[in-house]
Amino acid sequence: MKMTKYFLTATLVLTSLHVIPQVSLDSLLSAVLQNNRGIIGSVQYLENKRIASRTNLYPENPELEFGHMWSSTSEVGNRTDFILSQTFDFPGVYVNRSKLSKAGVEKASQTVQGVRQETLLGAKQLWVEKVYLNRKRNVLRKRMEQAEAVDNYLQKQFENGEISKLRYNKALLLKASLRAELELLEAESAAIDTEISRVAGVSAPEIKDTLYYTTDRAILDSVLAISTADPLYLAVKQEMEMLNLQKQLIRSSSMPKLKTGYYSESLPNLQMRGVLVGLSIPLWENVNKVKAAEAAIISAELAADKYRSDQVSGIMQTYIRYKSYQKQSAGLALALELSNDPALLNLAMESGEISMVEFFYETDLYYRVLGELLVAEKELYLAESELTKYKL
């Protein structure tokens, strides 16, 4: 009956597949936001962009000129000139420069949000991988306990001469195989822990969860709607806006520049004061620049359209995977529910209804299907995390 208890415990461990979100997932995502180097670096990048955006918004520096000319005759005397001038672009230039700077900051902000989103998605998927390994570890440990119980049972039969050494060795081989699989799993789990620590920083929480959270079964429509707010897509669209503003800036830069200032000229017996007014002639500086800007806008529009097309295609492919694993998980869970579980097989073996060979074959098949269910569930939640990344 002790073996029966082990089998029942192993079966009950896997009955609840969906619960409320785990506290450790929230803790992990919080740690990532606070300590991830990529996110911290992107925030600093945004701050650098904000500072840089405040440059090139003001007029050119004023110019101060001083000239002194020596006369060759004493009748005329030496001449002294003093000029203070300031050049101004056409007013629209400053307006468009300001808009372009703000658009650049907005694009940088969207890029930062994209880095944040992708980093949180990676952390969430690491959590899913860790939960899968925790679930698999629980199954393997229960199987090890069951293998120990089977070994003790068969050892007594062997010692009493009821079975041969050949049959008894099957239990020993099963234990060795399970032990090797458990050691490999522990190594994989340690590698995941290392990656979690890298992503989350020094304050990465220990993840002991063995249950997933509840998923949204009608997920596609909401994902397609919210995906238009994808920061990286918005950054691509913002690039189009920046190019349009750049085009406007080039056009406004084609207007004449104004130059005004103070002018002073001094001779020995004569002082002259006045104002200086100048006007630039925009003849060659911006030749073909507007055409180049319009070509760049067309390229940006094509890039944005391609990005959105690829994005929707990727969402649909992920959704197809999600529905496939959803169906696969439900089918495997139902098959396990209707199958001869290890508890019944154990009772049948002890009563002599099935042989030991049949017992090993049937239990191996049961746990093979159970392993497939664990993998299907993991892939289901990895796909779900990709679909819901726009909410992170």
**pLDDT-based confidence at residue 103 (cuts at 50, 70, 90):** confident
DSSP class of residue 274 equals: E
Question: The tokens of 285 are what?
Answer: 């500086």
Q: Which helix (H) or strand (E) holds 4?
A: helix 2-13
With 0-12 CB in 10 A as exposed, 13-18 as middle and 19+ as buried, what is 369? middle
As a whole number of angstroms, the distance between CA 371 and CA 375 comes to 6
pLDDT by residue (tens digit) across 180-234?
A: 988 999 999 989 988 898 898 876 778 888 888 877 666 777 777 777 777 777 7
pLDDT level of residue 23 (50, 70, 90 thresholds): low
Q: pLDDT tens digit string along 59-71? A: 777 878 877 777 6
Q: Whole-structure pTM over 0.75, yes or no?
A: no
Q: Which two three-digit tokens encode residue 280?
A: 């630039």
Percent of the chain predicted with pLDDT > 90: 6
Question: Angle, to 10 degrees, between the axis of helix 342-350 and the axis of helix 356-387?
Answer: 180
Give residue 137's pLDDT.
Answer: 92
> Smallest Cα–Cα separation from 363: which of 376, 344, 377?
344
Distance of CA 185 to the CA centre of its chain: 26
- CA-nearest of 219, 239, 223, 245 to 94 is 245
- Across residues 253-267, what is the average pLDDT? 73
Report the domain count for the chain. 1
What CATH number is given to the structural domain containing 80? Answer: 1.20.1600.10
- For 108-125, the pLDDT digits (tens) are 888 888 888 889 999 999
Mean pLDDT over the full length of the chain: 78
Residue 177 CA to residue 138 CA, distance in Å, equals: 16
The pLDDT, as a whole number, for residue 333 is 87
Task: Please report which confidence band the pLDDT of residue 10 belongs to, taking 50, 70 and 90 as the band edges.
Answer: very low
pLDDT of residue 277: 76
| Furthest C-alpha separation in the chain | 141
More confident residue, 18 or 327: 327
Residue 21 has pLDDT above 70, yes or no: no
Q: Is 366 or 13 the better-scoring residue by pLDDT?
A: 366
Tokens of 223: 């994902």
In degrees and rounded to multiples of 5, residue 278 shows phi and psi of -135, 160
Residue 14: domain span: 2-391
- Separation of alpha carbons 14 and 8, rounded Å: 11
| C-alpha to C-alpha distance for 268 and 273, rounded to whole angstroms | 14
Averaged pLDDT for residues 335-358? 74
Bridge partners of 260, per DSSP, are 86, 277
Q: Using an 8 Å Cβ cutoff, are 195 and 127 in contact?
A: no
Per-residue pLDDT tens digits for 118-166: 899 999 999 999 999 999 999 998 888 888 877 787 777 777 777 777 7
**Spatial distance between the Cα atoms of 352 and 188, rounded to a whole number of angstroms:** 40
